[in-house]
Amino acid sequence: MASTTFRIGGDLGVRRLGFGAMHLPTEAGAGRENSVGVVRRAVELGVTLIDTAYLYGGGANEELIAEALHPYPDALLITTKVGVARSGASDEWRLDGRPAVLRDQVEQALRRLRVERIELLQLHRIDPETPLADQLGTLADLRTEGKIGRIGLSEVSVAELTQAQETVDIATVQNRYNVLDREHEPVLAACEAAGIAFLPWRPVAWGKSGAKAEVAAVAAELDATPTQIALAWLLGHSPVILPIPGTARIDHLEENLAAEGLHLSPAHRDRLDRLTEPT
């Protein structure tokens, strides 16, 4: 049976099956009230890893999580991401890893999340217009100052990960990955070799898993849903995978977390291993 926990950076223990907050409505009203309920229910059910980002509503998602959960339980890890900003004449979202921008976004995240230190801070994307050493150097400085604890990356190649490791210790990588989309299998392998946590975003292919007859067949045989099959496959595929499925519905949240107790036989896993989605 695969372990249900992982130590990020070798010391920060979390439950492997986490929660991605990206899809939670944050506007005032019934939608926001429901979002608060979903986040609180996730923690009630034992989730200890919640993923958010400045990009998700320009900080509104971070504020929602703080409203729902602060003061935070001791075992809860809230990770956020920086490095995307509204800038330029068009005021459109774009990659922005300039040191001053990263520092400001971290300071604002500390305020919105109501914490003095972000235990895991991830670079949302590498800004190709800013030297990587400058981007990571800024985060390393913030870590030295005690404002962040560990540094992660998102949507990187093996080469980019290797380059980043020459500047700072990398605790996590967050790339798109699921049973139907394994473009980043080499990155996962690199993370596994280095003991780096791999947080797949889009872990259930936005529900498309059920469109694959083989996934649906395995789900039917195990009296489970295709989403549960996709999550169970991830948990068993590599010990460093920490899925962060997101939902705005409590019933879907409970369905997702139940995947942790689902057992895929070697035969089922072999059938799923042979599935890939063209990239």
pLDDT at 218 over 70: yes
d(C-alpha 22, C-alpha 92), whole Å: 19
CA 5 to chain centre: 15
- Asked whether residue 147 carries a pLDDT value surpassing 90, the answer given is yes
Q: What does the pLDDT look like over 224-249, one tens digit per residue?
A: 999 999 999 999 999 999 999 999 99
pLDDT on residue 213: 87
Q: What is the mean pLDDT of residues 146-157?
A: 98
Give the model confidence (pLDDT) of 104-124 as tens digits. 999 999 999 999 999 999 999
- The answer to whether 56 is a known catalytic residue is yes
Predicted confidence (pLDDT) at residue 279 exceeds the cutoff of 50? no
Q: How far separated are the first and last CA of the chain, in Å rounded? A: 31
Among 185, 122, 178, 176, residue whose Cα is nearest residue 148: 122
pTM of the model: 0.94
Q: Are 42 and 249 in contact (CB under 8 A)?
A: no
Q: What average pLDDT score do residues 156-180 get?
A: 97
Walk me through the domains of the chain, giving residue ranges and CATH numbers: 5-207+238-258 (3.20.20.100)
pLDDT digits (tens, 9 = 90+) for 60-90: 999 999 999 999 999 999 999 999 998 766 6
Q: Are 272 and 218 in contact (CB under 8 A)?
A: yes
**3-state class (DSSP) for residue 166:** coil
Residue range 131-149: mean pLDDT, rounded: 98
d(CA 248, CA 107): 28
CA distance 194 to 188: 10
Whole-angstrom distance, CA of residue 121 vs CA of residue 168: 13
Task: Express each pLDDT in 16-25 by its tens digit.
Answer: 999 999 999 9
User: Quick one: average pLDDT of 169-174?
Assistant: 98
List all residues 6 or more positions away from 266 whose beta carbon is below 8 Å from its beta carbon: none
- The whole-number pLDDT of residue 206 equals 58
pLDDT for position 188: 98
How much is the pLDDT for 277? Answer: 53
Percent of the chain with pLDDT over 90: 90
Mean pLDDT confidence for 143-170: 98
| C-alpha Rg value of the chain to the nearest Å | 18
Q: How many Å apart are CA 60 and CA 74, to the nearest integer?
A: 23
pLDDT band of residue 275 (cuts 50, 70, 90) is: confident
- Which CA distances in Å does 214 have to 169, 220, 248, 268, 273? 39, 10, 27, 9, 11
Report how far residue 169's alpha carbon sits from residue 118's, in angstroms, rounded to the nearest whole number.
16
pLDDT over threshold 90, residue 278: no
List the single range of 24-28, 265-269, 274-278 with lowest mean pLDDT.
274-278
Long-range contacts of 138-145 (CB under 8 A, 24+ apart): 138/99, 138/102, 138/103, 139/102, 139/106, 139/168, 140/167, 140/168, 142/102, 142/103, 142/106, 143/168
Which residue of the set 54, 56, 72, 177 is catalytic?
Answer: 56
For residue 2, the model assigns a pLDDT of 76
> In the predicted model, what is the mean pLDDT of residues 199-216?
81
Q: What are phi and psi of 184, to 5 degrees?
A: -100, 25
